[in-house]
Structure 1
Amino acid sequence: MVRQPTVEDVARLAGVSRQTVSNVLNAPDIVRATTRGRVEAAIAELGYAPSMAARRLRTQQSHTIGIRLDPYAGGISGIVLDRFIHALTERATPRGLRILVYAATDADEEIRRIRQLREGGEIDRIVLTGTYAGDPRAEWLAEHDIPYVAFGRPWGEPGAQALDADASRHWVDVDGAAGTRAATLHSLAEGDRVAFLGWPAGSGTGDDRERGWREALGWAEEPPAELRWTSVDSVSRARAVVEDALAAMDVDAIVCASDTLALGAHLAASHAGRPHLLVIGFDNTPVAEALALSSVEQRPELVADAVLDLLVADPATGGGPWHRLIEPELVVRSRDDV
């Protein structure tokens, strides 16, 4: 019978004390990042798994994070959330945490499900996804003193700046404006007529991504209407919008708010006889990779790390900030290789 690795084995491999390993598992925020990294690497190498049952008895906590598994909706961009949940699960284990996924079709049902899981002792903290202005889930969790971190900013909330400093309102998000700013600056090598294909106004995420395009081109106010194109997140609708736009004018490049829109724009450009027109998407999905389309990578693995850091931080220590913006990465591909 193969002997299971112990805390002592982890400590020996990492070159630290047993107490340091315990701190990494139970209070990682008090351990220096370099030391924590060595311990987590040793845990991964040995395949060490702490006894969750023993921890629950000792701490009266489940050390389990609940996260909603969104209903399957198809499409291209949903892969980002799938990658995030996978990364969250993978990175939770070395910290002595578990992930429990649950299904819910709307906010009210999710609140009921969280209440059941909480009262049953199955979860003691939550990761929220798909946040929006007036989100009742955030209010309910705060009222019931359940630790949570949101993947997404509190778009449209009154006094949102005050929420940034509130230790009960943790969130992690991707800096969408930084991503489209980088995409636009890269596009300027093709010429200064860079169009933006985005969603209808009013989406916090979409408006943020449009802002990066405007800032890169120096348009603090309303941008030229002929270069700001609008479509819902649909390949066919985006294709129709871009076909009409390209029939009326010429552009040097198109920056898009998602890979779904980018695919529609690429199909339209190809139909117009311009298959090599620079089109840049957002999300860096397998579709963008397969078609050699440049795209903005959200780096959901870094989002998962930041979410876990905030979930185990102790607000009582004043160890903020309680929000993190992750810098995305522009992945440039050449269509000459297609």
Structure 2
Amino acid sequence: MVRTPTVEDVALRAGVSRQTVSNVLNTPTIVKPATRERVQQAIVELGYRRHAAARQLRTRRSSTIGIHLDPYVGGVSGVVLDRFVHALTERASERGMRMLVYAARTAGDEIARLAELWEGSEIDAAIITGTFHGDPRTRWLGEARLPFVAFGRPWGEDDLAAPEHLWVDVDGAAGTRAATEHALGFGPRVAFLGWPTGSGTGDDRERGWREAMAAAGAKGPRWTTEEDVARARAVVAGAGVDVDAVVCASDSLAIGALLAQAGGSARVPVIGFDNTPTAEALGFSSVEQRPEDVAAATLELLMGPTGEAVTPRDVRAGTAHALIEPRLVVR
């Protein structure tokens, strides 16, 4: 009986790793042309048939959901995603599913890793984070028919009315709107400290501040900085704190705004976003994203209210997303 060639056979014939073969099969543009040609030649010589092999493997369920582990960047960032992954693991276990955490530094690397896990029947579904407009991961997942939900909306013009895929997100505008309405209690001049324009999440949070200010007939400056405590401190210190309060796009920026006022005789209230342990320790108000609720909604979209269905679902307006409203924690 002739044995069916495998990915390992192709890798051995081409003199490359199994991962490189997977890259050629799923994301060929990230592989050097010479290497790609060598792998493709090995595939022809061995008569490897990817889709037939994949179908045989996928007849076995793994009862496992893959999720990307973001690289550690230090500071106060990442707390929300850590809580999200922890909550996912607990709730998936209650449904008889496991979570498989994988690492990848770029979207291309993540696609290659997902392809390897999917082809090897190591996962039945995937959850991705950090979505952005034109995200290649969502396109590949759809084409591969790998069931998935994104923590983060598509960020297209029609992402609410006619989403392209299943997603759960936090209503950032609602959070900063509540924060701004609270800040207006200290006076009409409320500043917003946010990220440069072009970030879907950042623009959404800025929108909430603008809407609340417009509704109150108030005006305040908009300060811009990268997600960095030291830079945020420099921006606020350079601008001068001639405001009644500051609403920030993150707790990291809020810490910078607080440090800019250190030693001053008149400190104005600062409100952050994420409600990290640092916000609690330093005693400033912050918007709580409720990652546990995001995790519950993610699994319900992926598997239904009580079942374990992880087959690809049709995406229909009104049923394909969940927008979680955050809450303001006042201190």
Where on the TM-score scale, by shorter chain, does this alignment land: which range? 0.7 to 0.9
Residues 237-281 of structure 1: per-residue CA shift (max 9 Å, x gap): 1011111222xx621100000000000001112243334x21000
CA 1:161 to 1:325, structure 2 compared with 1: closer, same or farther past 3 Å?
closer
Identity in percent: 63
- Residue identity in the other structure for 1:105: R
**Residue 102 in 1 paired to residue 102 in 2?**
yes
Structure 1 residue ranges without an equivalent (≥5): 1-56, 334-338
**Residue 267 in 1 paired to residue 265 in 2?**
no
Given that 1:243 and 1:272 are in contact with CA atoms closer than 8 Å, whether structure 2 keeps it comes out as: no
Match of 1:236 among 206, 214, 230: 230
Partner of 1:327: 325
Give the alignment of 1:278-293 within 5 angstroms. Answer: 278-293=269-284
- Residue identity in the other structure for 1:264: G
- Residue identity in the other structure for 2:124: D
User: How many residues end up aligned between the 2 structures?
Assistant: 268
Give the alignment of 1:77-116 within 5 angstroms. Answer: 77-116=77-116
Residues 39-83 of structure 1: per-residue CA shift (max 9 Å, x gap): xxxxxxxxxxxxxxxxxx9x8321211001111111212111111
Alignment partners' CA distance in 1, 2:87 and 2:117: 22
- Residue identity in the other structure for 2:129: T
Residues 8-38 of structure 1: per-residue CA shift (max 9 Å, x gap): xxxxxxxxxxxxxxxxxxxxxxxxxxxxxxx
1:189 counterpart SS class = helix
Given that 2:161 and 2:317 are in contact with CA atoms closer than 8 Å, whether structure 1 keeps it comes out as: no
2:101 counterpart SS class = strand
Partner of 1:202: 198
Alignment partners' CA distance in 1, 2:314 and 2:242: 57
Partner of 1:23: none
TM-score, L = length of structure 1: 0.75
Alignment partners' CA distance in 1, 2:60 and 2:107: 28
Partner of 1:256: 248
Alignment partners' CA distance in 1, 2:314 and 2:239: 55
Alignment partners' CA distance in 2, 1:317 and 1:161: 12
Partner of 1:139: 139
Alignment partners' CA distance in 2, 1:190 and 1:318: 44
Using the TM superposition, give the Cα deviation of residue 115 of structure 1 relative to its aligned residue in structure 2, in angstroms. 1.1
Given that 1:214 and 1:220 are in contact with CA atoms closer than 8 Å, whether structure 2 keeps it comes out as: no
Structure 2 residue ranges without an equivalent (≥5): 1-56
Residues 197-221 of structure 1: per-residue CA shift (max 9 Å, x gap): 0111111100100110111111799
Residues 261-303 of structure 1: per-residue CA shift (max 9 Å, x gap): 000001112243334x210000001111110010000000000
Match of 2:303 among 312, 317, 322: 312
Alignment partners' CA distance in 2, 1:316 and 1:66: 21
Partner of 1:298: 289
Using the TM superposition, give the Cα deviation of residue 317 of structure 1 relative to its aligned residue in structure 2, in angstroms. 11
Alignment partners' CA distance in 2, 1:317 and 1:170: 7
Alignment partners' CA distance in 2, 1:232 and 1:317: 35
1:188 counterpart SS class = helix
1:132 counterpart SS class = coil
Using the TM superposition, give the Cα deviation of residue 183 of structure 1 relative to its aligned residue in structure 2, in angstroms. 0.4
**CA root-mean-square deviation:** 2.4
TM-score, L = length of structure 2: 0.76
**Residue 182 in 1 paired to residue 178 in 2?**
yes
Alignment partners' CA distance in 2, 1:305 and 1:274: 43
Using the TM superposition, give the Cα deviation of residue 320 of structure 1 relative to its aligned residue in structure 2, in angstroms. 5.7
